[in-house]
């Protein structure tokens, strides 16, 4: 299946260390060689990048790493095709606009017989079950709340209910962001780690790279990294299974705050 990576940060941050390991899984240390994509949310909106080449061999992926883009929310996906041809239109993340914000979505798993609603505002362009599921989520939000965004908890509750219905059709791990909030759902595999003061050191599992985060961060920096499989030797923890979790400013937004392993 595909691989997911996402970040939610208190302040704009770079993800190039994690990307150095993650993108190697697209055709080098992993079999996910059917395209990749990323969405970086900055002050000017969402920078959306997709490429049907394997990320481990993509010149565009190398350029993104060299640019070291800073953002508060980032979503990255490397694809192993199960539905739809290996084309750019089927590469995640998918992006749509709702409530004046761009939303980006990436999915890991396979869903059977997903109906995005022929009368819905949001329609799929490619042939993937993932894009259909994304349109289903956004259609549900728009139909439930109209043209005005509700409070965050109402969004979580709606996404949780619709996700549970979609999950009846297969495996539904996803990450989604509107540039302010990162939403994530684990069905099978999805883990997280929080990086905050006091910062430690980490080693990538996919290549020989180490970092001392204390040398690159300020005392008030704080971020959460979410990935299908741990990227480093840090104390990653699985997300709660079968529910939508939201992250803002590098922390979880839940009724019972999650205890992060730092």
* Per-residue pLDDT tens over the stretch 154-169: 999 999 999 999 999 9
List the domain range (segments joined by +) for residue 81. Answer: 3-253
CA angle 69, 56, 2 (to 5 degrees): 90
123 within a domain of the structure (yes/no)? yes
176 within a domain of the structure (yes/no)? yes
Q: What is the mean pLDDT of residues 128-149?
A: 94
Q: Is the pLDDT of residue 32 over 90?
A: no
105 within a domain of the structure (yes/no)? yes
Tally of structural domains, the chain: 1
User: At 26, is the pLDDT very low, low, confident or very high (cuts 50, 70, 90)?
Assistant: confident
Report whether 65 contacts 20 (CB < 8 A): yes
Kind plus residue range of the DSSP H or E element containing 8: strand 3-14
97 within a domain of the structure (yes/no)? yes
Report whether 34 contacts 81 (CB < 8 A): yes
User: At 101, is the pLDDT very low, low, confident or very high (cuts 50, 70, 90)?
Assistant: very high
Active site residues: 2
Q: Is the pLDDT of residue 44 over 50?
A: yes
* Per-residue pLDDT tens over the stretch 61-93: 888 888 878 999 999 999 877 766 777 889 999
258 within a domain of the structure (yes/no)? no
262 within a domain of the structure (yes/no)? no
141 within a domain of the structure (yes/no)? yes
Check residue 244 and give its pLDDT: 96
Distance in angstroms (rounded) separating the CA atoms of residues 101 and 124: 18
Q: Where are the alpha helices (DSSP H) in the chain?
A: 16-22, 59-67, 129-145, 152-166
259 within a domain of the structure (yes/no)? no
Check residue 116 and give its pLDDT: 55
CATH number of domain containing 128: 3.60.20.10
Please name the residues in contact with 220: beta carbons below 8 A apart, sequence gap of 6 or more: 10, 11, 197
* Per-residue pLDDT tens over the stretch 107-131: 999 998 776 554 578 998 988 999 9
């Amino acid at each position: 299946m595909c691989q997911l990576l996402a970040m939610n940060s208190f302040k704009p941050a770079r993800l190039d260390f994690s990307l150095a390991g993650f993108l190697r899984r697209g055709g080098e240390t992993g079999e996910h060689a059917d395209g990749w994509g990323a969405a970086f949310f900055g002050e000017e909106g969402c920078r959306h990048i997709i490429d049907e080449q394997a990320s481990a061999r993509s010149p565009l992926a190398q350029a993104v790493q060299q640019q070291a883009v800073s953002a508060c929310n980032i979503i990255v996906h490397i694809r192993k095709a199960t539905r739809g041809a290996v084309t750019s239109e089927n590469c995640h993340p998918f992006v749509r606009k709702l409530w004046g914000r761009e939303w980006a979505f990436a999915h890991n798993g396979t869903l059977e017989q997903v109906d995005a609603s022929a009368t819905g505002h949001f329609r799929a362009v490619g042939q993937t079950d993932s894009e259909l599921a994304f349109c289903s989520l956004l259609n549900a939000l728009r139909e439930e709340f109209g043209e005005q965004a509700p409070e965050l908890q109402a969004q979580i509750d709606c996404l949780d209910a619709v996700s549970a219905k979609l999950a009846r059709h297969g495996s539904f791990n996803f990450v989604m962001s509107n540039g302010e909030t990162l939403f994530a759902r684990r069905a099978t595999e999805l883990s997280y780690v929080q990086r905050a003061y006091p910062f430690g050191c980490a080693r990538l599992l996919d290549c020989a790279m180490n970092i001392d985060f204390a040398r690159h961060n300020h005392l008030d920096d704080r971020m959460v990294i979410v990935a299908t499989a741990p990227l480093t030797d840090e104390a990653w923890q699985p997300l709660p299974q079968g529910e939508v979790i939201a992250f803002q400013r590098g922390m979880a937004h839940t009724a019972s705050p999650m205890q992060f392993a730092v």
